[in-house]
Structures are given as C-alpha cells and as structure tokens.
Structure 1
C-alpha cells in the first residue's frame, strides 16, 4: 500500500514529495497498518486520531507521512487532524469531564488505572522502545531508558491520586473553613519530537491523576509511539473522552488547542520562541499555562574533579539522545589548571562515541530526528568557524543516508559567540576556561536560559555553593541527565514556567477552592 523511497538525491526527494502530495488526500487509509521493525519485531501501528477511546479517521481524511531518520525511508502515513477534529476531541473531553466519570470518582480508582496503563506498557516495552527508535532515530538503549522512565513515572503519579488534600483552617468557633483542590477541566497538551513517549507520559499522568481530561497533540515528525500506547487507555479502565490524541501540525492543531474556549489549561514542551507564542495565545483567554522550553546549560568541571568520570558525564550531557535534549550540557566550563588535560581526554572519548544504526546495541548516538534539524546543526558548525572558534573534533555529517552527524567540540570560544549563546539542539559543545568559583558562576548565569546545570568536583562544599547560586531548575552534581520519576524538572527564566514530574506538577493541574460556612 505504501511505497518506500529513499532520500539522497534531489530527484528522489521530489518524487517522495509528489507521492506525499498524492497520499495526503488518500481517503482509504486503514486505522492500523502492519509494520516490521528493523530488529525483526512486528506489530500493528494505529494511524487514526484517538478520540473517545477509539481510533478514527480525520474528518477531512488527509494524511501525512512519517519518515525514519536513520534510513530516510517512509514508515507509514497517519491521519492529519485539523480544527474540526480538535473541536470533536475537545467536546469529547468536556463531556467526559462534565459527566463525572473520571473527575468525581474515588481518586484511588484513578491511581489504579494509571498503574494498569503502566502494566500494559511494561508488557510491550521492547516493541514500544523499538517504535521510538524507528520514529525518532535515537539509539535503542536510550529508547529503552525512556520507556522505563515512562513506566516508573506513571506508577509514581498513580501514588499521588489520594494525596490531593486540602486543609482545615482554624478561623474560630463561628465558622467552619476548609480548602480543597479541584481539577481544571479540559487540558490542552503539546509535546515535542525529541522524547515523544516520555513527554506523553509527563503530560497526561499529572492531568489524569488530578481528575482532568486531555486533548494532546503529538509532534508531526514522531506521532507513532503515543498512538500505539493510546490503545491501552480503554484497557486500563480510563473512560471515553478522558484522553484524546490529535496528530497534526502546530500551526493548525496546536493553535486550535491553544485558542479553544473550552480548554482551561495549556501544557507545552518545545522551543522558547514557540513557547512565547503559546503563552500569548493562552493569555488571550486567561488559560493556565505551563511551559518547558529551551536551554543552554552549563556543565562545570573543577580542578579537583575525577577527569575520566567528568568526561563521561560531559559525553552523557551532550551526546545523549543525539544532543536533542533541552537540558543538554552544551556549555562546558573547565578550570584552567586541568583544561588541556581534559580537552585531550574528551577529544579521544568523543571520537570513540559510536554513531550510526540506532538498532545496533553498541550505538550511543543515533540519528538526528529530521533533515531540518541536521541542517540547522551543520549551519551552526559553520557559524562557529566563522566566529573564530576552534573546531577540535567532529562537525561533519556522517554518511549519505540517514541524518547522522559526528560529535562536535568547539574550543577557544568567547561568551558573545552565537554557538555559546544560542540553543543548537544537537551534539555540539563549547569548552571555556575559568579561574575562580566566582567567575564560573557569573559565566554560568550569563544566559537567557536556566534549565539545568552540571557540577563536577570532589569538594561537596564547592558543589553546594555553586548549586545554590546557579540559575537553573535542575542541578546535577558529579552526574548529568540523571532523571528520576519523583524529582521535579523545569526551568528558570526563558527555560519555562512550571514543573514536570514530582508532586510539584500537581499544582499545575488543580485549583484551590476555599469553603467557609457560618455555624448556626
């Protein structure tokens, strides 16, 4: 039914686009298609929108193609949602909220349902990890880590179900006064392409455990894993309309969700520029909004650090997930006495990083998720060269098929360079010398962002001093990209508003009601 084509030449590209134009109006796309994964696993991929616990065709019957970043081959098509599909999904979510089938049940039942959802995902975790690798291009071991964190987080969120307590307020003997937390209603959620399934879980879990309903837009380049796991929603005992997934494009589906009058809250993960637009759209109707946005995170190495361990943490901080991580440690600051030694060690280890087939068990860095992202990263490499930075290693596309790039290190940078200031969102790191603790704190904070930071030292006093003074939502000490399902994640400044994970995220999905009764 679907013709597989390979990019590489302009003629092939033109042919694929022509085929895509034809298939966009294909009105008989089945709601599931069989897919055989590169590792030999086979499964049925849902292609429809997920509304009212059913996969359905979009109203206009349009579709869009999904491309494998590691092969540049078409995987399949999925249905493309439009404004009228968003309307239908919001109506389903509003009906589910209003009828009380989810919001007013015993909170324990919501927790049980989330645990069942985690059970289904755990049962299919190898298939799901493989879908993520096929669709996103990340290394299979990274995908497995994502899926495990999804499972852990769903279970952790389930544990919060019966802990949404209000408080009794002593206002004397004439009145009975208390507060309670209530869900907001329909929550609009927009997730990115770098961690498709993980962001799906980070968004829906706190919304559901607090009694809300959801209309979620996947990233157009990576819709497959969220659609696959959505088939488990009804099996887990979650009523129709509570979770709705509309695949589509940001300017259409995303905008429709943000401006819909019945959507009471927007949660977005993505670029700072898009986040600002969404925040303005949400403000127009006074929607509650949480935004997890970009970053340019400092990773600081003091002279008393274990250099070999620090280098491995730098590699994890910048090359993990192909560098497509909002909190990537993309600005490395090294105390001058160990600068040369660390550069030497880091260059050797960086060039030893296995880049390539993401289904190869030994691969650490898979493909970039799209041709657009690859081109952006390569353009920044050229910017760095023109700005006068020294290209120490990498900076080149790897091969001619698939969106691969060599791990890239720039030295001899100044703080006003674009490669130091701007988020590249790829496996590109800059390295800068510093002398004193005071100096490196100033350098670390010289950014519009504030998502994360890393500190490497054997002196715990130094670590805590710097951690307390760096403007970052998450600080890792002698580790990096070290997530835990109970630890809140979010940013300062241009890196966003609100938190994901942890009990803190529950505040994003509830509102406080005060009740004061005069005693007769």
Structure 2
C-alpha cells in the first residue's frame, strides 16, 4: 500500500545514509523511512537538471505534451493505489484522496495542452525591419511543495515546468512524500529523459539555502506559509532569481441577506471541514448579514457538529486527522485566545480522541477583531462567524487582513457581485460556490498571499522568458 521511499536524481532512484520517519497521523504509527538528501545529492541533482534542461528545452512541444499525457494516464490508472498511500501518510478520507489523484492528472493534462500554445507574436514595423516576440523556457526550476495535498500540489509545479520546457528539482514535503514519489514513477515510465525531473527530501532550510543561490537555478517556485515565502524570496532576490509564490490565505466568506441561508450554511460547513481545514483557500471568516445571522449560524453549527471524524480509511468518514502533531496545540491555543477575547465557542474547540492528531470541528461566533484567529489563518477545522450590518461592512472586514488568496460570496444580486469584483482584495473570487480554482483557471494571490499564477493560460508564464528580436535588413 505504501511505496518505497527514495530520492530520484538523474533518472535513478537512490537511498542515503540518513533517513527520517513518515508517520500515519491517524494511528501515530511509522509507515516508512524517508531518505535525507546531503549536499552531494543536491549537487548531483543540479548537474542532472542542467543536462536535462539542455535536452528537454530542445524537445518539440508536441513530444513534451505526449510524455506528460502518458504520465497523467498512468496516474489515473493507479488512482486507488495512490489514494491509499496519500490517506496513510496524510489522513484525509479515501474519497478525497481519490479526487486528489484525478485533480493532479487534470493539471498535467491541461499543461500538456498549453505546451503547444506558447505562442509568440509579430509586431508591425517599418519597412526593412521586423520585430518578433519569443517565449522560451526559463531554465532549471527549484520547486518546493507543501504537505496538505501530497500529489496535486507537486503536480502544479511539475506540470508547469515540464510543459514550458524546463527541468525541475522538486523538494516535496517530508511528512507526505508518497504523492510526489508516484508522480516521478509515472513520468519515468512515460519516458521522460533522465535529469528533467529530480526529487529530493531533507532539511528544508538546508535544501533551499543550497539550491537557490546556484547560478543554474533560474526560478524558485514555492507553495507554503507567508513567513517561509518571504525568506525564500529574500534569498532569491540576492541573486536576482525570479520567484513564483503561492502563500497563505485567510479566506473571507460574505453571506448577503438575499441568499438561500440553509444551502449557504450547509455547504460552508462541509467545505470548511474538507481536508480538516488544511487548505490555503479554506473558507474561514464568515461575515453574515445580521438579518440572517442567527439562522445561518444555527444551520452551520448543526452541520459542522455532525461531521464524521475518524481514520480516513474507514467508510463514511468526512474528516480525518490533522497532518502532524504540532497542529493540535496550535489550534487549541487559537481557540483559547479567541475565547479569552470574548468569542463564543458554539461547537468543538478541543482535541478529538486520544490516539492520532484529531481535532474537533469547531465554530466560533462573535469573535473580536483583536483575537489572533481574525488575523492568523488557523489551517485547521475552525470557522469564525461574525455578523455584519451591510455589504460595505463585510468588504471592509474581508480586506482587513494582509492576505488575499481566495474569497467567497453568496448573493443573487448583480449589483452586489459587480461591487465585490471591484473591491474584494483577492486573487480568486468565487460567487455562490466554494470552489476556488480549476486547471483551466489562473490561481494565485495578492498582498501577502504571494504573486505569480499557476494554472490557466497564464500558468506557464512564470516558467518562460520573453525575448524580443529586432531584425533589420540593413546594417546600421
């Protein structure tokens, strides 16, 4: 059920002298030993990626696309096997893990199509001159993916890099390595040339501090916390290396007075508990018009409290454990801080059970602005519901944090929708749905939620350089 854990460098799997445990968060049992990359492994990965780039960047886009599509087909065929591994290491319910495998395959399939559409353009010029614009792969990419989506998060970065013609060194999450392992297996079987895709694990700071300053690294792509993103951006800036940053969020949900209260409340409660709230776009701060606040809160609390919590391998489970032990005291502290500030804990608020890293689905209401949770993303199954007097008040509250990744709203009024499109400060705004992105749509944030986009026609832009060519018929 759980794969053999190894590094992948220059087209070959390898172990190292040092390793670290991988733990099932539902049972607290060790399920694997993950090799720890040393400096020599990283140097080998850099050398392999440089050679891989020389070959892959010259490969025809049609051939690159075919390889990516073959790998995606392998992932789809192994959906159940991969999902079992993801649930074992992460804890999410098996149906959600299955969906994640398909989601990752869809990212690859979209990027494969985009590989053949990296068009340039011809700019009208005076007689005897010609201006053309060319999009070219940027080079070796150093990529870092988080633990909350073990397969789909690495897929975003690998798909973008390979479709553009880049080679990549991926440092995937040490706590949830199986998704990346399965991706690499699929690409190796699909015929990807050696060195184009390399996979390492180890001490995150050691890997980033070694890779980012290297002259051969031309892009740093990172998904994770804003604090780490700032550090990596600073490190990259010292070498003028561009970055793609998809950082933390603290998603607001504006619930207007004209919406279907029951549908909005139930869908909000269910979405909040997906992946145990460990989603950068998870709906967290609900700003509900005061005229429907009581009825919305009642329905939301009822559905949240009914969430089936347990081992993700078990039938009927809707929410698994948190991904690691340190998240339990972190969430407990946030709840206690909010309670001390005057918030009401309507359900949950504490650890669930005695074995595994489980936390109760939690709803807080009437939370003061100075409570930590109003400024810090919980990254767990905690929802905040506060009343607002009008749409302007809701927008003000939504924009009051330094983050701007995803935002949501429930309303049927066209004027409300137009106003929120113009004023809510997020990179992704969803109306009457809590889905934040699809493979064909650009995804990324504003403010402290980062910059650059993954997905959509814009998704390959970060992995390419733009070269303007001025050709004159006469020698000046």
Pairing of 1:134-153 with structure 2 (within 5 A): 134-153=88-107
2:9 equivalent to 1:55: no
DSSP-derived class of the 2:377 partner: coil
Give the conservation status (yes or no) of the 8 Å contact 2:429–2:436.
no
C-alpha distance in 2, partners of 1:258/1:370? 27
Tell me what 2:25 maps to.
69
Q: Which stretch shifts more, 248-257 or 340-349? A: 248-257
DSSP-derived class of the 2:291 partner: helix
* CA drift at 1:102: 1.0
1:107-159 alpha-carbon deviations (Å, 9 max, x no partner): 11001111001010011011111111111111112111111111111111100
* CA drift at 1:254: 2.7
1:477-518 alpha-carbon deviations (Å, 9 max, x no partner): 111134311011110100011111111111100001111111
2:229 equivalent to 1:275: yes
C-alpha distance in 2, partners of 1:295/1:420? 12
Tell me what 2:414 maps to.
460
C-alpha distance in 1, partners of 2:208/2:322? 23
Q: Which stretch shifts more, 499-508 or 64-73? A: 499-508
Q: Which stretch shifts more, 439-448 or 273-282? A: 439-448
Tell me what 1:478 maps to.
432
Tell me what 1:200 maps to.
154
Give the conservation status (yes or no) of the 8 Å contact 2:428–2:437.
no
C-alpha distance in 1, partners of 2:209/2:150? 19
Give the conservation status (yes or no) of the 8 Å contact 1:46–1:55.
no
C-alpha distance in 2, partners of 1:366/1:257? 35
Tell me what 1:213 maps to.
167
Give the conservation status (yes or no) of the 8 Å contact 1:298–1:331.
yes
Alignment partner of 2:86 out of 108, 132, 135: 132
Give the conservation status (yes or no) of the 8 Å contact 1:53–1:233.
no
* CA drift at 1:443: 1.1
Tell me what 2:41 maps to.
85
Alignment partner of 2:265 out of 299, 311, 314: 311
2:203 equivalent to 1:232: no
Give the conservation status (yes or no) of the 8 Å contact 1:306–1:458.
no
Tell me what 2:117 maps to.
163
Structure 2: where are the runs of 5+ without partners? none
**4+ residue runs over 6 A deviation:** none
* CA drift at 1:462: 1.5
Give the conservation status (yes or no) of the 8 Å contact 2:25–2:323.
yes
Tell me what 2:177 maps to.
223
2:137 equivalent to 1:183: yes
2:459 equivalent to 1:505: yes
Give the conservation status (yes or no) of the 8 Å contact 1:410–1:430.
yes
1:189-245 alpha-carbon deviations (Å, 9 max, x no partner): 000000121111000101001100000001111112211231122221210000000
Tell me what 2:352 maps to.
398
C-alpha distance in 2, partners of 1:506/1:104? 17
DSSP-derived class of the 2:287 partner: strand
Aligned length: 474
1:229-265 alpha-carbon deviations (Å, 9 max, x no partner): 3112222121000000001121112322222232110
C-alpha distance in 1, partners of 2:208/2:263? 42
Alignment partner of 1:338 out of 282, 288, 292: 292
Tell me what 2:4 maps to.
46
Give the conservation status (yes or no) of the 8 Å contact 2:269–2:301.
no
Tell me what 2:388 maps to.
434
Pairing of 1:382-393 with structure 2 (within 5 A): 382-393=336-347
Tell me what 1:369 maps to.
323
1:386-429 alpha-carbon deviations (Å, 9 max, x no partner): 22211111011111111111111111212222111111111111
Q: Specify whether residues 255 and 313 from structure 1 end up closer, same or farther in structure 2 by C-alpha distance, changes over 3 A only.
A: farther
Tell me what 2:442 maps to.
488
Give the conservation status (yes or no) of the 8 Å contact 1:455–1:467.
no
C-alpha distance in 1, partners of 2:6/2:304? 42
C-alpha distance in 1, partners of 2:269/2:437? 16
DSSP-derived class of the 2:309 partner: coil
1:438-470 alpha-carbon deviations (Å, 9 max, x no partner): 111111111100011110112233223213310
Tell me what 2:303 maps to.
349
C-alpha distance in 2, partners of 1:358/1:508? 36
1:60-90 alpha-carbon deviations (Å, 9 max, x no partner): x111110001110000102111222111101
C-alpha distance in 1, partners of 2:210/2:317? 39
DSSP-derived class of the 1:503 partner: coil
C-alpha distance in 2, partners of 1:407/1:400? 16
Structure 1: where are the runs of 5+ without partners? 1-41
